[in-house]
Copies of this chain bind each other. A is one copy, B any other.
């Protein structure tokens, strides 16, 4: 296979300098460069004749940037379980990257399947391969993010991240307001004792939801009853546990995670209770598309696709220097389902 022609070959053939070929190729016709139509034609003919193709690698090296956007996830980007966890984000990311003419660099090289990936490996930040990066998923520790900031590496997190003393860019869903709205929906359905069932993990999005829960109480002039707030594992949401809460007067549950919704459904069945006739149930998020059986649960949408595209947009603006590291928050939408109703008459308050 014979070597492809270089810019030099084209220049020689057309009887001009390599610089001129480059100028013609890039349409750099503004400013103080002007190529005569004849020269232009001669160059184009030479290109055509030789079948010249500019080397993109050399191009980006000379140009300073490589038009690569990194995508880093702490877990496998394409998990086997939980297929569509990242998917909607990726749809948005690809969409916007395509629109802006960027290619996507997925950092898959380190971190075994099971274990979580880290940005710095042997003290090296491989993200630097790309002009900037989008970060997704649950980080183990904030240290890496701080290093990234200190390096001045441009990145945008998908989801709110709170790092004290540091300004970092993210695009997040407004879980706080969404939860407050969902709570208001329950209040409107006459519920007054609403249990909050969260997970044990403590992260920004969990805190935001709990904040929304408190905020909603405040807005109603109610106070939060700590007996009804639980941060527990799903396995602890047993029929017994649920029954206990019901006996204390709880008429509705809000659940951070869909596995808790499952547990509540099972508990209801065991206790011979009907949802929403006997108690109401809502989810603080939306069921992944793989879980069609949860479609009827009252919940709110997380604008994942939009979060993806907006994060790329923000990163692009940061790269252009048009924007500092800043934060974007997107609205969620309440999705009334079939799991909320006015509660039955409450027999007795303890």
Q: Which of A49-79 contact B (CB under 8 A)?
A: 51-58, 60-61, 66-68, 76-79
Contacting pair A151 B51 (CB below 8 A): yes
Contacting pair A125 B94 (CB below 8 A): no
Interface bits A243-255 vs B (CB < 8 Å: 1, else 0): 0000000000000
A227 CB within 8 Å of chain B: no
Contacting pair B108 A94 (CB below 8 A): yes
Cβ-defined partner of A53 (8 Å) among B102, B105, B120: B120
Q: A104-B108, A105-B105, A106-B106 are in contact. Are A123 and B48 (CB under 8 A)?
A: yes
A345 CB within 8 Å of chain B: no
A60 → B minimal CB distance (Å): 5
Cβ-defined partner of A83 (8 Å) among B77, B112, B289: B289
> Which of A84-92, A159-167, A330-338 lies at the binding interface?
A84-92
Contacting pair A106 B104 (CB below 8 A): yes
Contacting pair A57 B61 (CB below 8 A): yes
Contacting pair A128 B55 (CB below 8 A): yes
Of the candidates A61, A122, A129, the one having the most CB atoms from chain B within 10 angstroms of its own CB is A129
A97 CB within 8 Å of chain B: yes
A233 CB within 8 Å of chain B: no
CB-nearest residue of chain B to A71: B106
Cβ-defined partner of A128 (8 Å) among B53, B102, B106, B122: B53
A156 to B109, CA, bound (A): 19
Contacting pair B103 A53 (CB below 8 A): no
Q: A91-B78, A103-B108, A151-B1 are in contact. Are A57 and B54 (CB under 8 A)?
A: no
A53 to B51, CA, bound (A): 35
A37 CB within 8 Å of chain B: no
Contacting pair B83 A122 (CB below 8 A): no
Contacting pair A51 B123 (CB below 8 A): yes
Chain B residues contacting A289 (CB-CB under 8 Å) are 83
A150 CB within 8 Å of chain B: yes
Contacting pair A104 B103 (CB below 8 A): no
A220 CB within 8 Å of chain B: no
Of the candidates A51, A57, A102, the one having the most CB atoms from chain B within 10 angstroms of its own CB is A57
A122 to B108, CA, bound (A): 30
A194 CB within 8 Å of chain B: no
Cβ-defined partner of A152 (8 Å) among B1, B98, B151: B1
Chain A residues in the interface with B (C-beta under 8 A): 1-2, 4, 47-48, 51-58, 60-61, 66-68, 76-80, 83-84, 87, 90-91, 94-95, 97-98, 101-113, 120, 122-126, 128-129, 150-152, 289
4 closest Cβ contacts across the A-B interface? A1-B152, A104-B106, A53-B128, A48-B123
Given A48-B124, A56-B124, 19 more contacts at CB 8 Å?
Answer: A51-B151, A52-B123, A53-B120, A53-B124, A56-B66, A56-B128, A57-B66, A57-B129, A68-B105, A68-B129, A76-B94, A76-B98, A80-B91, A87-B87, A94-B108, A97-B109, A98-B108, A103-B108, A104-B108
What would 14 A/B residue contacts be, using CB atoms closer than 8 Å?
Answer: A4-B128, A4-B151, A48-B124, A52-B124, A53-B124, A55-B128, A57-B129, A67-B109, A83-B289, A97-B108, A97-B109, A98-B111, A98-B113, A104-B108
